[in-house]
Amino acid sequence: MTDRPRVVIVGAGFGGLSAARELENADVDVLIVDRHNFHTFQPLLYQVATAGLNAADVGYVVRGVFRREQRVRFRKDEVIGVDWDTGEVQLEAEGPVPFDHLIVAAGSSTNYFGVDGAREHAFPLYTLEDAILVRNHLLSLFEAADSEPALVDDGVLNLVVVGGGPTGVEVAGALVELIDKVLEQDFHDLDVHRARVVLVEQADRLLAPFSERSQRYARRTLVRRGVEVRLGTAVRRITADHVELSSGEVIASRLVVWAAGVRAGTLADRLGVAQGPGGRITVGPDLSIADHPQAFAIGDVADIDDGHGGRLPQLAQVAIQGGEHAARQVLADLEGRPRTPFRYHDKGTMATIGRRAAVAELPSRHGTRVLQGGIAWLTWLGLHLVYLIGVRNRVSVLVNWAWNYLTWDRGPRIILRPEVLPHSPRVEPDARRPTHGPASAGDGAAVRPGPGPGRRRSR
């Protein structure tokens, strides 16, 4: 060990990495702790889930980011608490790690809002493992329906997306493209257009942070492409084979993608510090944790005042700018300079709906510039490529996007963890439906399906 000040960063997300980069040339020792050895580019997780990208395209090894920085180290472990009296971070697998300054960038976790059955039966989409599970289960459902077409009448191809924010809109749009343009060519004996994609949103509009103009465009585009949009409708209950809505509607479904929101990561509950809405850690104007000036909280885990009586959203840009600011406050302390308050610079918001369809709202000198359609889609593609970590990842994603655009083909349609799916009761009355989560019980003989609801083709 050296005599240099020790800075521990909890989390290798956008905020944690931006803080480490700000400190990499300073006269300090930096230790990043994360339970995964890779950074996840979360904005593109939905493309992994819908077979648009490989998992490795959106993950980058943390040690590779700082391979030339001797003062930035990484430890794969999980932080389970902090001893504020001794100034030590407590790890699950190893002994405590001392710190002079601490930056908590632990991210967020899925918020199920107490919906009955959501935790047990819905599929969240927040981690790389989540995305792979969604892809595995989605493709397994189509394989099961191809082997036993009677399952289609049981709703095995009804896909429900809960949440009308950017993630929900992007997932729903990607699903209809996957079904109409890719799986249609893969499954010659299965009428894939009997599949349904249903987007459920409790509010009366999609994309709440966007303007009304963008909201109308998003809904109109999704409906035109075949998504069934349910606005002003909450989810009451989710079971292994159906979803119950507040309207009284019951939708048979074996895949419910939960994109309804997040809360602060579970570490926030174990730190013994003040917390705000959604369990987020209360911070001061300089992002320091209340009563612990040597520690900072940034990104999704922090409850940050937006300066207008509201809270800053849980977005990548908030985490990136927060990480840079927290690191500068550490350097200010070490150099004897006063700290400065955090000022967030809004760089805009965007969401893609599918090929040549997106919305982007970007600040300009004359107010907010609203983009829609192809130009917004190209802007979305370009900015996501810029923020991806690693040249290899950028090249791989660009090649995948170009190939998909030219051919409508998607490469990673691989089921890594095969599932055993249920029989149709029309084929074998004694077959049992799954009682928990995505996995269930055996195969059966195929029969031709009877008439059922269809879905419009994508345009």
- Strand pairing partners for 103? 9, 296
Whole-number Å distance between alpha carbons of 74 and 80: 17
Whole-number Å distance between alpha carbons of 386 and 229: 32
- The single-letter code of the amino acid at 252 is A
Q: Which residues contact 312 (CB under 8 A, 6 or more apart)?
A: 304, 305, 306, 318, 344
Whole-number Å distance between alpha carbons of 233 and 201: 6
Name the CA radius of gyration of the chain, rounded.
23
Phi, psi of 306 (to 5 degrees): -85, 0
User: Helix, strand or coil for residue 178?
Assistant: helix
Catalytic residue among 170, 228, 244, 361: 170
* 78 is an active site residue: no
Q: What angle do CA 292, 293, 297 make, to 5 degrees?
A: 75
Q: What is the largest CA-CA distance in the chain?
A: 77
The DSSP code sequence of 409-448 is --S----SS---PPPPTTT-TTPPPPSSSS----------
Which residues are the active-site residues?
170
